[in-house]
Amino acid sequence: MRVIILCCLALLGYANTYAQVKANKNVPTVFVDREGVMRWSDTRAEASFYGVNYTVPFAHAFRALQARGIDRKQAIDRDVYHFSRLGYNAYRIHIWDVEISDRNGNLISNEHLDLLDYLFFKLQERGIRILITGMTNFGNGYPEKNENTDAFTYHYDKCQIHANPQAVAAQEKYISQLLRHVNPYTGYAYQEDPYVIGFEINNEPCHTGSVQTTSDYIARMVKAIKKSGHKKPVFYNVSHNMDHVQAYFNADIQGTTYQWYPVGLVAGRERLGNFLPYIDQYRIPFANLKGFANKAKAVYEYDPADNLYSYLHPAMSRTFRSAGFQWITQFAYDPMDIAAYNTEYQTHYLNLAYTPAKALSTLIAAEVAYAIRRNKKFNPYPQNISFGDFEVSYDQDLAMMNAQDKYFYTNNTTVKPVKPEKLMHIAGHGSSPVVEYGGSGAYFLDRLEEGLWRLEVMPDAEKIADPFAKPSPSREVVHILYRSQAIDIQIPDLGEMFTVQQLSHKTGVVEDFIVPKTSFSVEPGVYLLKRKHVQLKNSWTASSSWKNGRLGEFYAPATVPLKQALLIHQQPEALEKGRSAKLEFRYIFEQQPDSIILQTDQISFWNDHNPYIKLIPKDRYRYEADIPAALLTGNALKYTATVFVGGKQFTYPDNQAGAPLDWDYRVNTYWTVGLYEQHAPISLFESLSKVANFETFAIPETAYMTAEWKQQDLGKLPFWTYSFHAKDSSAQYFWLKDIKTKILDRPVGINHVKKLCILLKHTGGNPTLKAGFVTNKGYTYLKKIDAVSATERLVCLDLADLQLVPTALLPAPYPVFLERFFKPVVSDQFDKRAIEKLIISGENMAGVVLSVAAVWLE
């Protein structure tokens, strides 16, 4: 009976919202004017959109939620609330036609379509607009194998589906039925829904035939769309198949769609570095084509993939606006209920709970999209890191919005708000002059009326594995912790004494209390903060309407407590003798440790005295060990760390119960760091490992190199040997290696080095080789290597001779028409202390076999 009542209440809620939607005849829609500008139907003002892709109704997300027994509609409720919380006003989806169609192109009414309808309904409740891409024309498996649904897509090759008459007929039927499909939750057909701004025909089409065939295909699709009664803007992808571009702009469409993956895709690991030069410009080489100027421009997908940085998204949004884009949607937002594992798209990772700093950067990116005028031009990097009310910083991994009423930041900052007394909205991760907070989750403060603020605090999120490595539903990459954290809020409108009232809380009931000054403890949840003695104009409760929802709404992940503590430590590349050092650790567990101690391999159960170093807490999760210079002797420092918590001991890196001084404990693994004299050479690359640790690239992408590890003389270093393959003799090749930590670990040594040395040889051809570095500004400095012989040769280049050159954008950005080099317009002197990457480049490599054994600084 209870289930029936709940279902009836739910249906009544849907019916009420349906009636409200249908009754509202004044919902503005979007049209494209003759100049290719998207405008609102009521005010004729320019429209600007920012949001995400999100795929719960289909494919892996659909299956993964089912496997975990999660109600998908409830999952949608949670995620759509977070979309609204992050300020998004846009949503895009490429529909998996293979899951809602048959082999003839007929639309199938099933659970996938019902979830899509429900998702559209919930987005509309939050005022979020929708761009529908009708077809993907590929399978539903990734990252698993495809399921054969017998849909029409599975019967045709993706690159032939636009030319085969039977395939085109199936698509016409499918498109027509999809557009006329009536969403039972809203009462609108997709083509009539005021919240659907337009319709893109298909996702990343593959056109390999004649240009005329492409023109004919688009014309037939547009005709089918119009015949169905669709009157909204029609979009087509123009960032693929460059030899067919004119066919796109000759077509009877109103909008064009583009992508941007500036640092490539699927690295298999987290990428590090300053990528601001990579996102400085978005130049479209066919902008002078007839028809280009009167087509609206939309970004259907973008993402600086394979990294967790928070400084990139607002800068990309700025560049998009400068290039004239009005629709910007990231790919793809991870459903909160499976985001702990990042299995949906290995190369992408975005979720408010699990990547709080990155999510807040998209909040700021949305504000950039709304605030920066379309086509506004900016000076090139690094002169554009501050623009309008916004600022980005690679060094601090920080993005900020500092306006009179909004103060948003993605990491610790000392920048004060420009008008603290006028603030209305605050969002942060870390601490600022307004909020000091020790947790690692995001938080939001919103002014409801004078003297009254809403505080929302997300749980802590701690990375425990590389999110971009091979995914698995059993491999957690970020762990959520619910902990009480100290927070200090200094907002002039609240003053120094205010009342804290619980609205929504995840860990139990919290009594209202008065804050004596500005600091108190808070757990994840929603609270009202009220200034002392203020007389409120309104009565506020958890059920009060607020931002298209309820004031007390709060969604956060469930968390399964860890079975034992995790101690995460990235050992240094090297340490210098004769000077003390600091080692950093992260402790992740629901319970605070009694202590954590570090011990070297020199201790013994049989010794009467065994020295140790106690780790010092820097916050709830970060600990530091001060290593005295006296311990840094010999060739290496070998050490363990033991956590004492709850009457138990766990030793790392073994990750085993017990302690090294227990009579029956045997240490199997030590963290081991090489020790070097302060003026000793700094090793950057050695060929001793059979695992290649250079990342290799070529321009153009059709060129490539192959590598082989060879050791012909046991008395000498082995070589990594490279062969080169290209159709174009002008191909360029690159070797790249992250060495930032090697430089930071040798602060005295780097001050004394003067030469870059390489042990190498080559056979065949007459190659042009250069070597040098990329700095923390993203600038590249190279010097040509003189002729290399067929016998082993040591080449040393004076660092003083390195010259500033264009930075190669490695890996290749997508789409392929984007430039491959960033050319600095602001000169900068080479600073060896700013080195982050080693780079070697080669040209004229046809017929060449190049071998490298070692690279170092001396």
Confidence of residue 3 (pLDDT cuts 50, 70, 90): very low
- Among the candidates 676, 711, 745, a domain finishes at 676
Q: Does 355 lie in the same domain as 412? A: no
Structure tokens at 379: 């000076």
pLDDT band per the 50, 70, 90 thresholds, residue 822: very high
Q: For position 742, which CATH number holds?
A: 2.60.120.430
- Shared domain check, 275 and 127: yes
Q: Are residues 302 and 439 in the same domain?
A: no
pLDDT score at 20: 47
The C-alpha atoms of residue 436 and residue 32 are separated, in whole angstroms, by: 46
Q: Could you tell me how far CA 290 lies from the centroid of its own chain? A: 36
Q: Which residues of 285-318 are buried (b: 16+ CB within 10 A; e: fewer)?
A: eeeebeebeebbbbbbbbbbbbbbbbbbbbbbbb
Beta strands in 306-395 (DSSP E): 327-330, 386-387, 390-393
Whether the predicted pLDDT of 19 surpasses 50: no
Residue 485 pairs with which residues in a beta bridge?
522
Contact between residue 667 and residue 651 where contact means Cβ atoms under 8 Å apart: yes
Using alpha carbons, list the distances in angstroms from residue 355 to 85, 513, 593. Answer: 14, 31, 25
Per-residue tokens: 62: 């659909």
- Phi then psi for 662, rounded to 5 degrees? -65, 140
Residues 395-454: tens digit of each pLDDT? 999 999 999 999 999 999 999 999 999 999 999 999 999 999 999 999 999 999 999 999
Please give the Cα distance from 608 to 606 (Å, whole number). 7
Query: 645 has which bridge partners?
Result: 648
Q: Are strands 545-546 and 525-531 parallel, antiparallel or unpaired?
A: unpaired
Residues 6+ apart with CB under 8 A from 424: 405, 406, 446, 447
**In angstroms, how far apart are the furthest CA atoms of the chain?**
90
The neighbour count for residue 733, using CB atoms within 10 Å, is: 24
The C-alpha atoms of residue 239 and residue 242 are separated, in whole angstroms, by 7
Contact 848, 724 (CB under 8 A): yes
C-alpha torsion 369→372→376→382, nearest 10: -90
Residue where a domain stops, chosen among 500, 524, 550 = 550
432-446, 712-726, 838-852: the lowest-pLDDT one: 712-726
Same domain as 444, residue 361? no
Kind of pairing, strands 386-387 and 390-393?
Answer: antiparallel
Phi, psi at 82, each rounded to 5°: -70, -35
Is 555 inside any structural domain? no
Same domain for 309 and 245, yes or no, is yes
Nearest Cα neighbor of 815 from 329, 299, 368 is 299
**Crossing angle (nearest 10°) for helices 312-322 and 356-371:** 20
pLDDT tens string 637-670: 999 999 999 999 999 999 999 999 999 999 999 9
In the predicted model, is pLDDT for residue 506 greater than 70? no
Together in a domain, 172 and 270: yes
| Residues 413, 401: Cα–Cα separation, whole Å | 12
- Which pTM does this prediction carry? 0.95
Backbone phi and psi for residue 120, each to the nearest 5 degrees, phi listed first: -60, -40
Q: Is 616 within the bounds of a domain?
A: yes
Confirm whether 224 is domain-assigned. yes
* Three-state SS at 618: coil
Domain of 156 in residue numbering reads as 2-390
Q: What is the DSSP letter of 45?
A: P
How many C-beta atoms lie closer than 10 Å to residue 801's C-beta?
Answer: 14
Which residue shows structure tokens 């109600």?
Answer: 71
- Render pLDDT for 675-690 as a digit per residue (tens, 0 to 9): 999 999 999 999 988 8
Residue 184, preceding bond cis, omega within 30 degrees?
A: no
What's the total number of domains in the chain? 4
Could you tell me if 375 and 455 lie in one domain? Answer: no
Provide the angle, in degrees to the nearest 10, between the axes of the packed helices 72-85 and 111-125.
30
On whether residue 398 sits in a domain, the answer given is no
Same domain, 739 and 845: yes
Strand ranges of the sheet holding 616-617, from the earlier edge strand across to the other edge: 566-568, 581-588, 622-627, 616-617
Do 739 and 813 sit in the same domain of this protein?
Answer: yes
State which H helix or E strand residue 436 sits in: strand 435-437
Asked if residue 458 has pLDDT above 80, the reply is yes
- Three-state secondary structure call for residue 270: coil
Q: Quick one: which of 35, 33, 32 has its CA closest to 293?
A: 35
Q: Examine residue 205 and say whether the peptide bond preceding it is cis (omega within 30 degrees of 0).
A: no
Listed residue (644, 637, 641, 673) closest to 654, CA to CA: 641
What does the radius of gyration of the chain's CA atoms come to, in whole angstroms? 29
* Three-class SS state of 535: coil
Any idea what the CATH number is for the domain that residue 604 is in?
Answer: 2.60.40.10
Which residue reads 């990528």 in tokens?
Answer: 275
Pairing type for strands 835-843 and 768-775 reads antiparallel
User: Is 737:818 a contact under the CB 8 Å cutoff?
Assistant: no
AA letter at 538: N
Check pLDDT > 60 for residue 327: yes
| pLDDT for the residue numbered 799 | 98
Q: What is the DSSP letter of 386?
A: E
Region 360-385 average pLDDT? 98
pLDDT confidence tier of residue 823, bands split at 50, 70 and 90:
very high
What does the pLDDT read at residue 505? Answer: 61
Domain of 257, CATH number, reads: 3.20.20.80
> How many CB atoms sit inside 10 A of residue 691's CB?
5
Q: What is the pLDDT of residue 511?
A: 60
Q: Which residues lie below 8 Å from residue 533, measured CB to CB, with a gap of 6+?
A: none
pLDDT value at residue 789:
81
Q: Which helix (H) or strand (E) holds 316?
A: helix 312-322
For 58-71, what is the mean pLDDT?
Answer: 98
- Residue 483 Cα to chain centre, angstroms: 26
Structure confidence at residue 7 as a pLDDT band (50, 70, 90): very low
Q: How far apart are CA 374 and CA 324, in angstroms?
A: 5
Predicted confidence band at 470 (pLDDT cuts at 50, 70, 90)?
very high
Q: What is the DSSP string of 792-848?
A: -EEEEEEGGG-EEEPEE-SS--BSTTS-SEE--SS-----GGGEEEEEEEEES-TT-
Two structure tokens written together for 853: 């054994």
- In the structure, what pLDDT confidence band is assigned to residue 23 with cuts at 50, 70 and 90? very low
pLDDT (tens digit, 9 = 90+) per residue, 195-218? 999 999 999 999 999 999 999 999
Res 558: pLDDT: 87
Confidence of residue 513 (pLDDT cuts 50, 70, 90): confident
Residue 337 to residue 352: CA distance in whole angstroms: 12
- Could you read off the pLDDT of 594-649 as tens digits, one per residue? 999 999 999 999 998 999 999 999 988 999 999 999 999 999 999 999 999 999 99
Answer whether residue 557 is part of any domain: no
Asked if residue 561 is part of any domain, the answer here is: no
**What is the pLDDT averaged over residues 117-125?**
98
Closest CA to 19 of 187, 190, 195, 189: 187
Please give the helix or strand (H or E) that residue 17 lies within, else none.
helix 2-23
Mean pLDDT of 772-777: 98
Q: How confident is the model at residue 1 (pLDDT cuts 50, 70, 90)?
A: very low
Do 504 and 520 belong together in one domain? yes
Peptide bond just before 382 cis, omega within 30 deg: yes
Distance CA 726, CA 847 (A): 10
What stretch of H or E contains 481? strand 478-481
Average pLDDT, the chain: 94
Whole-number Å distance between alpha carbons of 716 and 131:
61
Please check whether residue 548 is in contact with residue 125, taking contact to mean a CB–CB distance below 8 angstroms.
yes
Q: Is residue 556 part of a domain?
A: no
Give DSSP secondary structure letters for 682-731. EEEEETTSSS--SEEEEESTT-EEEEEEE-S-TTS--EEEEEEE-SSTT-
Q: Do 497 and 593 sit in the same domain of this protein?
A: no
- The reply to whether 599 and 515 lie within a common domain is no
Query: Within a domain: residue 558?
Result: no
Of 329, 357, 390, which marks where a domain is finished? Answer: 390
